[in-house]
């Protein structure tokens, strides 16, 4: 199965920051993948912070062609930054890494 197919199942999409806020408030999401540049309005940094307010354990993956150096300052803890361009398999690996890190250890 290709990475694009895996990511299409159950993915909520938003074209800008305000739309992303609506999806966060209304949808049940398992992970957030956001570009840093979302046009006018809230940035990907803002979207991730809002998502983490709603779900502190939510896996967050940032993608950007320009802002990876700012990740340590603006990014939420326990997130991953992927620089553009990237192959879809890298995105799947990043999400899986964060989801697996959030799973409590079995007793």
Query: Could you tell me the residue ranges of all domains in the chain?
Result: 3-101
- pLDDT by residue (tens digit) across 54-69? 889 888 999 998 877 8
The pTM of the full predicted model, rounded to 2 decimals, is: 0.82
Greater confidence (13 vs 48) lies with 48
What is the strand order of the sheet 79-83 is part of? 32-35, 60-64, 79-83
C-alpha pair distances (Å), 77 with each of 19, 52, 58, 66, 96: 23, 10, 10, 20, 16
pLDDT of residue 23: 82
CATH level 3 topology of 3-101: Rossmann fold (3.40.50)
- pLDDT by residue (tens digit) across 33-43? 888 888 888 99
- pLDDT by residue (tens digit) across 3-26? 444 455 556 667 788 888 888 888
pLDDT of residue 46: 93
Query: Would you mind telling me the total number of residues written for the chain in this entry?
Result: 107
Distance CA 29, CA 99 (A): 12
Distance CA 17, CA 42 (A): 5
């Amino acid at each position: 199965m290709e990475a694009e197919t895996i990511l299409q199942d159950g993915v909520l999409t938003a074209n800008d920051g305000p739309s992303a806020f609506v999806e966060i408030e209304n949808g049940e999401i398992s992970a957030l993948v956001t570009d840093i540049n979302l046009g006018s309005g809230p940035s990907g940094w803002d979207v991730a912070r809002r998502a983490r307010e709603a779900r502190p354990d939510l896996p967050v993956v940032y993608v950007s062609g320009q802002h990876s150096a700012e990740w340590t300052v603006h990014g939420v803890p326990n997130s991953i930054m992927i620089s553009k361009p990237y192959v879809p398999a890298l995105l799947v690996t990043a999400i899986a890494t964060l989801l697996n890190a959030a799973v409590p250890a079995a007793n």
